[in-house]
Amino acid sequence: MTAPSPNRAFSPLARLAPQAQWALLFVGSAAVALALEWLALPAALLLGPMVVGIALRTSGGAVRVARPLYYAAQAVLGCMIARAITPSIVAAFIKDSPLFLTAIAAVIAASSFLGWLMSRWGALPGSTAIWGLSPGAASAMMIIAEAYGADAQTVALMQYLRVVFVATAASIIARFWLGGSGASHPVVWLAAVHWPAFAETMALAGIGAVVGRALRLPAGPLLTPLAVGAVLRYFGLIEIELPQPLLAAAYALIGWTIGLGFTRAILVHAWRALPQIILSILALIGFCWLLALVLEAAIGADPLTAYLATSPGGMDTVAIIASSSNVDVSFVMAMQTTRFVIVLLLGPTLARALADRAGGPPRAQAKSG
C-alpha cells in the first residue's frame, strides 16, 4: 500500500466529493471577496479566491483549475492589459526609457543577488533560489526553472508566496497607507455591452491563447493577446470590450490557480528554508518600494503607480490590482511587461552563471538537494 498524501491525510476535506469541494470554493471565495470589497481593498475579486484556494488546498482539498480554463483567464487578462496601453504611454515610455530600463535592471539585479545569497549560504540548492525570486509571471518562471534543473516544488512555493505577499501588500497600501487615494474602483456589474466589440475581443482572446500555446511561449496565452491587441488597438482596428462578469471570472480562475498551488507537500518539502524564503521575499518587496520612491521623485508618478510598476510580480496579479485601483495601468504594465520579456531572454543565462558562482552547476545541485 502507498502512504497517504501529506495533503490529504487526516483532513475532513479529503473525504468530500470534488463537486462539494468546488461548491465550498465558490461560496467561500464569494464571501471573502465581498468582505474585501466592503473594505474597499483593490483586487478583492482576485484576493478572495486566492485566500480561499490556499485554505482549501492546505486543508486537504484536491480540486485544481483545468489548464485550458487558466489559459483562457490569462488571455482575457492579456486583452485587458492591451486595452490599457495607449499611444501616449508608448511615447512616455520611449521618452523615459533610460530611467525605466535602469529601474527594471535594478529589480532583476536585486532578485538575482538575493537568490545567489540563499544558494551561497546553502538555504536552497543550485539555481532554485534564483528562479524562485525571479520577477515575472509565476507559472512561466516555474516551467523554465524546471527545464533548467531547479527544484520545481520549491520554486513554485517561492513564486506563489511572493505573489501573495505582493498582492496583499499592494492592496493594503492602496487602501490604508495612501489614505484611500488608491482605493478600488466601484464594480459596475450590469453595464451595457457593445456586442460587436465583445465578439472581436473574444476572437482576439481565443486565437491569441491558441497561438501562444502553439508557439510554446512562456505565458503565451497572456502575452500573445496582449501584444496583438495592443497593436490592433493602436491602429484603430479593434475595440476591446470586457464585461465585468467576464473579468471577475478570469480573476477568480487566476486566484484559484495560485491558491490551489499551495499544497501541504510543497510546504513540508520547503519547511526548513521557509523563514529564509519569507525574509528574501520581504527584502525584495522592500527594495522595490524604495525604488518606487526614486521613480516617484524622478518623474512625478503617484506612489501606488510607482510601486506597482516596480513590484516583483507576478505580472498577471499586478495587472489585476492595477486595473482595480486608481493608478496609471498602462504605465504599470509597460514596465511589468518589459521586465518580464527581459527576464525571459536573460533569465536562463543569468541563473546558470549565478548558480555556478554559488557553488556548482544547477542541475547537479538540484539533484543533490
DSSP per residue, 199-229: HHHHHHHHHHHHHHHHTT-TTHHHHHHHHHH
Q: How confident is the model at residue 3 (pLDDT cuts 50, 70, 90)?
A: very low
Query: Quick check: is 3 in a domain?
Result: no
Query: Quick check: is 218 in a domain?
Result: no
Query: Quick check: is 219 in a domain?
Result: no
In single-letter form, the type of residue at position 42 comes to P
Is the whole-model pTM more than 0.75? no
Least confident of 28-32, 40-44, 243-247: 40-44
Query: Quick check: is 96 in a domain?
Result: yes
Query: Quick check: is 252 in a domain?
Result: yes
pLDDT digits (tens, 9 = 90+) for 93-103: 777 788 888 98
Domain that holds residue 349: 15-65+91-188+241-368
Q: How confident is the model at residue 252 (pLDDT cuts 50, 70, 90)?
A: very high
Least confident of 8-12, 33-37, 39-43, 193-197: 8-12
The x, y and z cell numbers of residue 10, run together, are: 487526516
Q: How confident is the model at residue 29 (pLDDT cuts 50, 70, 90)?
A: very high
In single-letter form, the type of residue at position 332 comes to V
Query: Quick check: is 129 in a domain?
Result: yes
**CB half-sphere exposure, 329, CA atoms < 13 A:** 22
Domains of the chain: total: 1
Query: Quick check: is 233 in a domain?
Result: no
Q: What integer best gives the mean pLDDT of the chain?
A: 79
Indicate if the pLDDT at residue 350 is higher than 50: yes
Give me the pLDDT at residue 126, please: 63
Indicate if the pLDDT at residue 231 is higher than 70: yes
Query: Quick check: is 308 in a domain?
Result: yes
Least confident of 90-94, 160-164, 256-260: 90-94
pLDDT digits (tens, 9 = 90+) for 185-217: 555 667 778 889 999 999 999 999 999 999 887
